[in-house]
Chain A
Amino acid sequence: MSENKILFNTGSLDGLSEEIGKLTNNDESRLKLTPDNADSGLAKLVLTLVELIRKLVEKQAMRRVDGGSLTDEEIERLGETLMKLELKMEELKKHFNLTDRDLNINLGPLGDLM
């Protein structure tokens, strides 16, 4: 490039480089399906979708709790269900040796999935 393209930055260049790296380096969250890892690759893909849906459900539930439209009993039942779902998800992640970062697919310019 013909000139310095950073016109304004009050932070350090190292810090900026690190942040840009987070936006562009999505190696960890990339789905790498090969004949040798078809099982674990598929598990990662499926668990990513399950986790996304679980988080959406949880978010919607919290909106309803916050809105005050649920009875104490309903909140209790909701808490039990969602907590059990979260624990089950933790078990599955452990079983397939996956972390939260593995399931948070980086969608490039769109950012992280979750």
Chain B
Amino acid sequence: MNLTLKIWRQKNNADKGDFKEYKISDISKDMSFLEMLDVLNENLSEKGEDPVHFDHDCREGICGMCSLYIDGKPHGPQQTTTCQLHMRSFSDGDVITIEPWRAKPFPVMKDLVVDRSAFDRIIQAGGYVSVNTGGVPDANEIPIPKSIADLAMDAAQCIGCGACVAACKNASAMLFTSAKVSQLALLPQGQVERKIRAEKMVAQMDAEGFGACTNTGACEAECPKGISITNIARMNREYFSAVVSSDTL
């Protein structure tokens, strides 16, 4: 395949940034999207030009490090992570536009690399069960219905990539935040801090500058792990019941 790539290049956070066009040839359909970019970078490096910087690590679709807005969609045309997107999803002669995540709480650091530490701060606000190491009950002491454990697992699969934020026109982090709130609200271990968790995580999400939910479901449609927006409904319920009967009052 021969392709034309329009890639966002930005030297650093202070730079304004712009699209640059690159031609690339002899791309095999079996390559992953990131391997195609590796080829581009190897070509650029051989010519002494600065390679395109993008985040990636496990290349197995689980670490959540890769991002990329490809032809106007987070992680591109398939509902997977960019590292699991393969070139068989494209055709010879295609023009592919590649941008970083666009959201104010995710500032661009260089080219396609953004800073997602806002997500870490949301988890730090309450995305945990406050147990220290040691002194916990036997793992089988509290039976959990399989259906509940499965629902919690569905929510817990979030990889924290930020596609939900990038997909949302309000740059809302509701899907990300609600996935963690749901997981812990569903499980018996999460009950003790259930209310304060919802309050604190929502407050942090707002403080980071993420927008309100649009109710359009773009996040769910683009989530590479298929996290459901029913988690958002659950978080809203958790949050409202928490604020009217807060443990901190």
Query: Are chains A and B native binding partners rather than an unrelated pairing?
Result: no
| Chain A interface (Cβ < 8 Å from any Cβ of B) | none
| Chain B interface (Cβ < 8 Å from any Cβ of A) | none
